[in-house]
Structure 1
Amino acid sequence: MNTISLNAYAKINLGLDVVRKREDNYHEVRMVMQTIRLYDKVIIEPIEKNEICIETNLSFLPTNENNLVYKAAELIKEKHNIKTGLSITLEKHIPVAAGLAGGSSDCAATLVGLNRLFKLNLSKQTLMEYGVTLGADVPYCIMRGTALSEGIGEILTPLPPVPDCYILIAKPSIHVSTKFVYENLKLNQLKKHPDIDGMVLAIHEKNLHKIAERMENVLETVTIPEYPVIGTLKDIMLNCNAINALMSGSGPTVFGLFEKKEDADRAYQQCREADPSNMVFLTTFFNK
Structure 2
Amino acid sequence: MKILVKAPAKINLALDVLHKRNDGYHEVEMIMTTIDLADRLELSLLEQNQIHIISQNRYVPDDQRNLAYQAAQILKDRFGIKQGVAISIEKTIPVAAGLAGGSSDAAAALRGLNKLWNLGLSLDELAEIGSEIGSDVSFCVYGGTALAKGRGEQIKELPAPPTCWVILAKPFIGVSTADVYRRLDVNAVTHPNIGAMVDALHHSDYQAVCRNVGNVLEDVTLNLHPEVAQIKDQMKRFGADAVLMSGSGPTVFGLVQHDSRMHRIYNGLRGFCDQVFAVRMLGDRNKLD
TM-score of Structure 1 vs Structure 2, range by shorter chain: over 0.9
Which one of 268, 278, 284 corresponds to residue 282 of structure 1? 278
Question: What's the Cα RMSD here?
Answer: 1.0
Preserved contact between residue 95 and residue 174 of structure 2 (Cα < 8 Å): no
Distance of 2:196 and 2:73 partners within structure 1: 41
Alignment of 1:172-187 (within 5 A): 172-187=171-186
Q: Does residue 1:100 correspond to 2:93, yes or no?
A: no
Distance of 2:83 and 2:223 partners within structure 1: 50
Preserved contact between residue 222 and residue 228 of structure 2 (Cα < 8 Å): yes
- Deviation per residue, 1:78-119 (Å, 9 max, x gap): 222111111110101100010000000000000000111122
Distance of 1:88 and 1:177 partners within structure 2: 25
Amino acid at match of 2:230: T
The residue number in structure 2 matching 1:215 is: 213
The residue number in structure 2 matching 1:167 is: 166
- Deviation per residue, 1:136-195 (Å, 9 max, x gap): 1101000111100111101111001111101101011112221221111111222x3100
Task: Give the paired residue count.
Answer: 284
Amino acid at match of 1:103: G
Distance of 2:214 and 2:171 partners within structure 1: 19
Alignment of 1:1-288 (within 5 A): 2-190=1-189, 192-275=190-273, 278-288=274-284
Amino acid at match of 2:166: I
Preserved contact between residue 99 and residue 246 of structure 2 (Cα < 8 Å): yes
Distance of 2:59 and 2:174 partners within structure 1: 14
- Deviation per residue, 1:220-275 (Å, 9 max, x gap): 12111221111111121112221101000000000000111221111112212124
SS in structure 1 at match of 2:10: strand
- Deviation per residue, 1:49-74 (Å, 9 max, x gap): 11111110112321111111111111
Distance of 2:59 and 2:157 partners within structure 1: 35
Amino acid at match of 1:41: R
Cα shift at 1:23: 2.5
Amino acid at match of 1:14: L
Distance of 1:215 and 1:59 partners within structure 2: 33
Preserved contact between residue 240 and residue 264 of structure 1 (Cα < 8 Å): no
State which drifts further: 163-172 or 22-31.
Answer: 22-31
Amino acid at match of 1:260: H
Amino acid at match of 1:279: Q
Preserved contact between residue 4 and residue 117 of structure 1 (Cα < 8 Å): yes
SS in structure 2 at match of 1:274: coil
Q: TM-score, normalised by structure 1?
A: 0.96
Q: TM-score, normalised by structure 2?
A: 0.96
Distance of 2:182 and 2:81 partners within structure 1: 40
Distance of 1:254 and 1:122 partners within structure 2: 35
Amino acid at match of 2:48: K
Which aligned segments of 4 or more residues in structure 1 are displaced greater than 2 angstroms? none
- Stretches of structure 2 that go unaligned for 5 or more consecutive residues are 285-289
SS in structure 2 at match of 1:193: coil
